[in-house]
């Protein structure tokens, strides 16, 4: 009896007690082996990633006491690694940090780490904070990141490609600004502010400007659904997106088919009977490329709606569909609407202006476009390449000039170490602008005006070549209105009557010259109290005979240019005289600027294109 009991007891004790004792031992051993593995991962990392600052990760001391390393409270695992500004450089090797699978915080910001973010980062299934901003990481983002993440900062790297639709349900802060990412922002990340995405010129969609949605009228179905993230599950979004994409695809194919059939039919038809009429139409259109079709058949009317009208001499080869698919970035909001930089799928770069508040009818609009489109073939004019007109959208397509406007070069970051435009450059820009404007006046006819001369509409290339843009658009709007941000450039009679003329363009050009000379803005800029009426200010200063005071201080370091500056000032003042009839003509202006500083031209070898006949610069100030 007793034996039996003992036997039973000892069996029981074996069954129960042995595991009770062994299990904790086992756990302890596993724990220490994990810490040991963390240690080895860290050592592998330190050995393969050069670093400027010494880490002093001493093999004989405990991992948990190492610089930048934090362990869990029971010292069982490494849970944080913080090495900001440690001078780490080169790639992060796989199988090093990726093995720290208990890590909650990984901060490697402000180093020189480069190449891809290793994919094994997704093994860190407890990671909450990933801060690797201010490095040189490149390549695509990993397709998956730990779903435990709460803070992700990847800003100021060189990451490229599209942002994958990361599934990060706990994410509170996300910053991927200042990389080279492109494409649209996934739905799940659209709740973050635009500063989270800024500085990726090819990124688009909420919260950034839409991805080429400038064609989508309120009546047409949206290209991509953009519901508030909280109201719909992501699977819902996905299926809606897929459905819309499929529908759009089918629609596109159908429309292309219809267009193809139509074009074939028309080719036949025009070859037979309509040749004469079409030829007539073409010549009266000033040779614009008609991708369109006749208005008689009903299908043609559909095609007509989606017609992008190109002008002759334009080498672009895309259509509305292509523009629709392009990614777009807002360049700026101008007097007449918003300008976008659009990147087509084949990499073509164009500027698309979306015109608001057009008050005239389609016919008049097209007539004005014809006039504008035919002003071209001049090196100082930015030509209109194509336009689009529908009830809800009016679009203009231009070449992209990458470097910026005169206004930008003249006024942006004056304080902060910018290289100022020197006198040579300013003369070159003044001359280019004068030539461009004279060409516009000549080609457009005596009634045609630029209507919006100001420094932000003078584009300047790397070589300081000038392109005058944004001309001839005022007649599209009926408001007695001159764009508000043109205030400082408006001629007195323009303010009174609201009617622009070539004379009022000359006035605006004169203000532009004053801007070049004084370095002062003619429109109020944010945070500065600039003088609005430059001509009046200059007159008052000159009357007091402190002429030198009017010139831009940035020009004062250049020797021997004062005479030229005074002459330029006289030209400017002769453009801004009150009476329109007494103002210079653009041709005179060109001649006078060309002759500027003629007597000592040997000092200025780069101004090769100055005319040789030396007309004395009269002083228009004294004349009028």
Ligand X SMILES: *[C@@H]1O[C@H](CO)[C@@H](O)[C@H](O)[C@H]1NC(C)=O
Q: Can you say whether the dihedral through the CA atoms of 615, 620, 622, 624 is positive or negative?
A: positive
Q: Which one, 157 or 502, has the nearer CB to ligand X?
A: 157
Q: How far is the CB of 57 from ligand X (least distance, A)?
A: 24
Q: How far is the CB of 25 from ligand X (least distance, A)?
A: 47
Whether residue 362 is annotated as binding a ligand: the answer is yes
Q: Which one, 129 or 138, has the nearer CB to ligand X?
A: 138
d(CA 532, CA 89): 51
Q: How far is the CB of 416 from ligand X (least distance, A)?
A: 17
Q: Which one, 195 or 611, has the nearer CB to ligand X?
A: 195
Alpha helices in 318-454 (DSSP H): 320-325, 362-374, 406-411, 423-444
Q: What are phi and psi of 306, to 5 degrees?
A: -100, 30
Q: How far is the CB of 160 from ligand X (least distance, A)?
A: 10
SS3 119: helix
Would you give the DSSP letter of residue 125?
Answer: T
Q: How far is the CB of 503 from ligand X (least distance, A)?
A: 47
Q: How far is the CB of 443 from ligand X (least distance, A)?
A: 46
Strand order in the sheet with 69-71: 69-71, 78-82, 105-107, 129-131, 151-153, 173-175
Cβ-based neighbours of 458, under 8 Å, separated by 6 or more: 405, 406, 407, 429, 433, 466, 467, 468, 469, 512
Q: How far is the CB of 526 from ligand X (least distance, A)?
A: 18
SS3 509: helix
Q: Which one, 199 or 580, has the nearer CB to ligand X?
A: 199
Residues that bind ligand X (CB under 6 A): 112, 114-115, 136, 138, 155, 175, 177, 193, 195-196
Q: How far apart are the first and last CA of the chain?
A: 136
Q: Can you list the positions of beta strands (E) in 306-424?
A: 308-310, 327-333, 337-343, 349-355, 384-389, 394-399
Q: Which one, 112 or 126, has the nearer CB to ligand X?
A: 112
Q: Which one, 139 or 299, has the nearer CB to ligand X?
A: 139
Q: Which one, 91 or 580, has the nearer CB to ligand X?
A: 91
Q: Which one, 193 or 275, has the nearer CB to ligand X?
A: 193
Give the closest residue to 265 by CA, choosing from 234, 288, 299, 231: 299
Q: How far is the CB of 139 from ligand X (least distance, A)?
A: 8
Q: How far is the CB of 229 from ligand X (least distance, A)?
A: 16
Q: Which one, 196 or 466, has the nearer CB to ligand X?
A: 196
Contact 591, 614 (CB under 8 A): no
Q: Which one, 8 or 173, has the nearer CB to ligand X?
A: 173
d(CA 584, CA 598): 20
Chain centroid to CA 315: 23
d(CA 93, CA 79): 19
Q: How far is the CB of 559 from ligand X (least distance, A)?
A: 39
Give the closest residue to 350 by CA, choosing from 317, 395, 307, 398: 398
d(CA 108, CA 82): 6
Would you give the DSSP letter of residue 51?
Answer: B
Q: Which one, 115 or 366, has the nearer CB to ligand X?
A: 115
d(CA 24, CA 28): 6
The C-alpha torsion from 482 through 488 and 491 to 495, rounded to 10°, is 50
Contact 466, 433 (CB under 8 A): yes
Q: How far is the CB of 154 from ligand X (least distance, A)?
A: 10
Give the closest residue to 295 by CA, choosing from 313, 310, 277, 312: 277
SS3 601: helix
Computed over its alpha carbons, how large is the radius of gyration of the chain? Answer: 34
How many residues are given for the chain?
624
Contact 465, 432 (CB under 8 A): yes
Annotated binding site for ATP: 362
Annotated binding site: 362
């Amino acid at each position: 009896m007793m034996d039996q009991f003992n036997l039973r007891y000892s069996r029981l004790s074996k069954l129960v007690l042995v595991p009770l004792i062994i299990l904790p031992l086992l756990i302890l051993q596993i724990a220490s082996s994990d810490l040991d593995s963390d240690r080895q991962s860290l050592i592998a990392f330190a050995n393969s990633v050069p670093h400027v600052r010494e880490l002093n990760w001493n093999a004989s001391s405990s991992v948990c006491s190492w610089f930048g390393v934090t362990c869990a409270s029971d010292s069982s695992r490494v849970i944080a690694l913080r090495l900001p500004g440690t001078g780490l450089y080169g790639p992060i090797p796989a199988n090093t940090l990726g093995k720290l699978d208990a890590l909650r915080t990984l901060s490697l910001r402000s180093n020189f780490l480069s190449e891809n973010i290793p994919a094994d980062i997704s093994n860190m299934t407890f990671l909450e904070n990933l801060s690797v901003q201010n490095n040189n990481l490149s390549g695509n983002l990993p397709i998956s990141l730990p779903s435990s993440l709460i803070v992700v900062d990847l800003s100021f790297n060189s990451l490229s490609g599209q942002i994958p639709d990361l599934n990060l349900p706990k994410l509170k802060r996300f910053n991927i600004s200042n990389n080279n990412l492109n494409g649209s922002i996934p739905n799940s990340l659209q709740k973050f502010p635009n500063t989270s995405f800024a500085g990726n010129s090819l990124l688009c969609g909420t919260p950034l400007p839409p991805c080429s949605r400038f064609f989508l009228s309120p009546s047409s179905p949206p290209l991509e659904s953009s519901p508030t993230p909280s109201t719909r599950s992501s699977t819902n979004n996905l299926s809606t997106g897929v459905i819309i994409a499929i529908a759009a695809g089918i629609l596109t194919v159908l429309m292309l088919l219809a267009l193809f059939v139509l074009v074939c039919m028309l080719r036949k038809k025009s070859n037979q009977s309509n040749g004469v009429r079409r030829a007539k139409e073409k010549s009266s259109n000033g040779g614009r490329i008609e991708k369109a079709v006749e208005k008689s058949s009903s299908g043609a009317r559909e095609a007509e709606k989606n017609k992008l009208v190109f002008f002759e001499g334009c080498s672009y080869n895309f259509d509305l569909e292509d523009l629709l698919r392009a990614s777009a970035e807002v360049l700026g909001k101008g007097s007449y609407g918003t300008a976008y930089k659009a990147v087509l799928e084949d990499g073509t770069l164009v500027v698309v202006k979306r015109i608001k508040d057009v008050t005239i009818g389609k016919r008049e609009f097209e007539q004005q476009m014809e006039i504008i489109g035919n002003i071209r073939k001049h090196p100082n004019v930015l030509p209109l390449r194509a336009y689009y007109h529908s009830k809800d959208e009016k679009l203009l397509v231009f070449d992209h000039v990458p470097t910026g406007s005169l206004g930008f070069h003249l006024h942006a970051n004056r304080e902060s170490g910018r290289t100022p435009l020197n006198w040579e450059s300013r003369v070159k820009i003044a001359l280019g602008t004068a030539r461009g404007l004279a060409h516009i006046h000549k080609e457009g006819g005596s009634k045609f005006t630029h209507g919006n001369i100001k420094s932000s509409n003078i584009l300047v290339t790397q070589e300081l070549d000038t392109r005058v843009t944004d001309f001839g658009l005022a007649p599209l709007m009926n408001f007695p209105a001159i764009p508000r941000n043109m205030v400082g450039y408006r001629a007195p009679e323009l303010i009174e009557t609201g009617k622009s003329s070539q004379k009022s363009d000359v006035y605006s050009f004169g203000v532009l010259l004053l801007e070049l000379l004084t370095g002062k803005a003619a429109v109020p800029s944010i945070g500065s109290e600039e003088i609005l009426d430059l001509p009046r200010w200059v007159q008052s200063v000159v009357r007091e005979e402190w002429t030198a005071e009017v010139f831009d201080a940035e020009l004062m370091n250049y020797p021997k240019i004062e005479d030229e500056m005074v002459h330029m000032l006289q030209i400017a003042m002769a453009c801004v005289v009150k009476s329109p009839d007494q103002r210079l003509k653009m041709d005179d202006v060109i001649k006078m600027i060309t002759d500027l500083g003629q007597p000592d031209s040997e000092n200025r070898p780069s101004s090769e294109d100055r005319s040789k006949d030396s007309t004395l610069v009269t002083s228009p100030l004294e004349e009028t």
